[in-house]
Amino acid sequence: MRAGPLVEIKKLSMTFHSPAGEIKALGNISLEIMEGEFVSIVGPSGCGKSTLLNMVAGLIKPASGEICINNKTVQGPTSLVGYMPQSDRLFEWRTIWKNVLLGLEVQKKVDKHSRGYAEELLTKYGLYEFRNSYPSQLSGGMRQRVALIRTLAINPELLLLDEAFSALDYQTRLVVADEVKQIISRENKTAVLVTHDIAEAISMAERVVVLTKRPGMIKNIHHIALTCSEKTPIKCREALEFKDYFNKIWKELDVHV
């Protein structure tokens, strides 16, 4: 059975002040994310999706409202949260192993135990034999898996994925999304995926949150229940109900504006 919410977003708003004037990026977002849940957030470009993730990660302070993780107000970045951006941000001059250790080095947490866990992740997810290779020797999909393992190596409870697959070509993207979902469930993590890809959002998540255009507000939340033989994102796309969710969310996103 699942415990209570891991993340509580309470009446969150954000306004940016720039020389050109004020930009209201988010308006009054309230959302709870349960432990172990996978939530997707979709919304039109510029509606504040990255801003929202940055605030959950403690990188931006909200203009008003509050975010709590494990009942504690977020006041800055912590090792509770792992962030996976759009580009894999691997360092080309470091080996895969050195890249995987990077997050731990930054947090000064390299020890026998954490190295052991990183090694275990590399082995489990088929990258151990590449530990001495350099990123340029790996395919885009493998690089993305390395980026995920680097994020997981710090053992965060919550993973934030910001358009994490958009840099990949379509085929690779499907496979990597499948792998990432599998890894996240096996490692018992809670995850929030931000994407503008409706199909990706539905196939990966238990809930899809639809945001309005800027300033982003919650337009609707869909509980995804798909009948499929295997609960993998690729198989989920074949479910009968998939298209219904897709059409509903498509209409809500109002892409013609």
Where on the chain is the footprint of ligand ADP (CB under 6 A)? 16, 18, 23, 25, 43, 45-51, 214
CB of 121 to ligand ADP, least distance (A): 28
Pick the closer one to ligand ADP by CB: 54 or 155: 54
Pick the closer one to ligand ADP by CB: 2 or 255: 255
- Which of ligand ADP, Mg ion, none is residue 144 near (CB under 5 to 8 Å by kind)? none
CB of 215 to ligand ADP, least distance (A): 8
The tokens for 145 are 């898996």
Pick the closer one to Mg ion by CB: 42 or 67: 42
Pick the closer one to Mg ion by CB: 50 or 99: 50
CA distance 95 to 102: 11
Pick the closer one to ligand ADP by CB: 28 or 185: 28
- The closest residue (CB) to Mg ion is 50
Binding residues for Mg ion, rule: CB under 5 A, are 49-50
- Which of ligand ADP, Mg ion, none is residue 27 near (CB under 5 to 8 Å by kind)? none
Note the residue count of the chain. 257
Report the DSSP pairing between strands 81-84 and 158-162.
parallel
Neighbours of 131 (CB within 10 A): 17
CB of 30 to ligand ADP, least distance (A): 18
- Which of Mg ion, ligand ADP, none is residue 71 near (CB under 5 to 8 Å by kind)? none
Q: Which residues contact 79 (CB under 8 A, 6 or more apart)?
A: 107, 109, 154, 155, 156
CB of 78 to Mg ion, least distance (A): 22
Measured between its terminal Cα atoms, the distance across the chain in Å is 42
Pick the closer one to ligand ADP by CB: 157 or 252: 252
What are the DSSP calls for 67-110, one per residue? EEETTEE--S--TTEEEE-SS----TTS-HHHHHHHHHHHTT--
* Best CA proximity match to 249, nearest among 204, 218, 210, 216: 210
**Residue 57 · residue 81 · CB < 8 Å:** yes
- Which of Mg ion, ligand ADP, none is residue 214 near (CB under 5 to 8 Å by kind)? ligand ADP
* Best CA proximity match to 203, nearest among 228, 232, 182: 232
CB of 134 to Mg ion, least distance (A): 29
CB of 245 to ligand ADP, least distance (A): 21
